[in-house]
Amino acid sequence: MNTRTALPEGVISLPGHEAHARGVLDANAWAYFAGGAADEHTLNANPAAWQKLQLHPRILRPVAGGHTRVSLLGRSLAHPILLAPVAYQRMAHPDGEIGTALAASAQQAGLVLSTQASTPLEAVADAIRNDPDRGPLWFQLYLQHDRGFNLELIHRAEAAGYEALVLTVDAPCNGARDRERQAGFRLPPGISAVNLSRLVPRPDPARHPHQSALFDGLLQQAPTWDDIAWLQASTRLPLILKGVLHPDDAREAARLQVGGLIVSNHGGRTLDTLPPTAEVLPEIVEALGGSLPVLVDGGIRRGTDVLKAMALGGAAVLIGRPYIYGLANAGALGVAHVIRLLRDELEIAMALSGCPTLGDIPADLVRRARN
């Protein structure tokens, strides 16, 4: 495992971090962090969809005194960039989730910690608790088969100071990840989902030979809309649903009065051939009519992508793989560098588009490329 803490020479962009990390991570870790489901059509379509959108700027607009601030869930954020939940970060660098948290805090970025973090949720919260300028700290939740354990995990997150729960709703089972299977992926010794260590094994119901291990086994306890109401009654934290792609699901979430939505296709890691999030985002925003904040992840690699997401009605964006590549390259410093690069590029894109603030984005800033 790489233990470098100095920025690699010549890396000046998020794609540059990715290219460098390819030579740093071993084949096992690269397959896990970089791979997607099946033929990886969605994995590749996500960044391509942002690139196909064109910016249509205005000129000679006054932009002095501009800023990147946004308001989200009652908080003022210095910028609209958050770090998406990614599991097992100590597999990328010994700094792991602590390094990521320190970098996010230093760069005022929001952080969503994974249920499957390789560092206890309390330790991550403690590392940045006393920074008054940090961004929001949220906890991502995969509902487990044991409701009592779910309650314990939620209460731990509340007690540690997490400010929202992010429920992943698009992955009741893993996708068919060919790259991981070809690499024979396995967690290295000493790395595990430590926050799930007290979870009792899932009961394996007796099945007839003709029954499915998936449909008649694992999915017997998969979450449904009924669990959303139970979860809301079980926590004082706002609940954000991550993995929404269909307008009807967005409307149902609004009916249940959740705190927000994240338009996400799980970075192309679950079901392949899903639409890219850049194409889905405006459909979800239109369906909700401003009733809920809508965030988006998937393929964001440039500040222009962030600006496009905001122009399409997004409240904020999340990045996943890019900061993991930064972590692999230089630990906490690498993560901070990724966030800073993206924020700097966002400011440049705003200035060159005639938008001093994100609230000044005109409706026609983004258009589809003409074939």
Catalytic residues: 266
Q: What span, in angstroms and rounded, lies between the C-alpha atoms of 51 and 276?
A: 11
The residues, any chain, with a CB within 8 Å of residue 51's CB and separated by 6 or more, are none
Q: Can you give the length of the chain in residues?
A: 371
Say how far residue 92 (Cα) sits from the centre of its chain.
Answer: 17
What does the alpha-carbon distance between residue 164 and residue 350 come to, in Å, rounded to a whole number? 29
Beta-strand runs (E) in the chain: 53-55, 70-72, 75-77, 81-83, 110-113, 137-141, 165-168, 239-244, 260-263, 294-297, 316-319, 366-368
Sort residue 238 into left (φ over 0), alpha (ψ -120 to 50) or beta: beta
CA 249, CA 243: separation in Å to the nearest integer? 10
Element (H, E) at 277: helix 277-288
Tokens (6 digits) for 253 = 């979430």
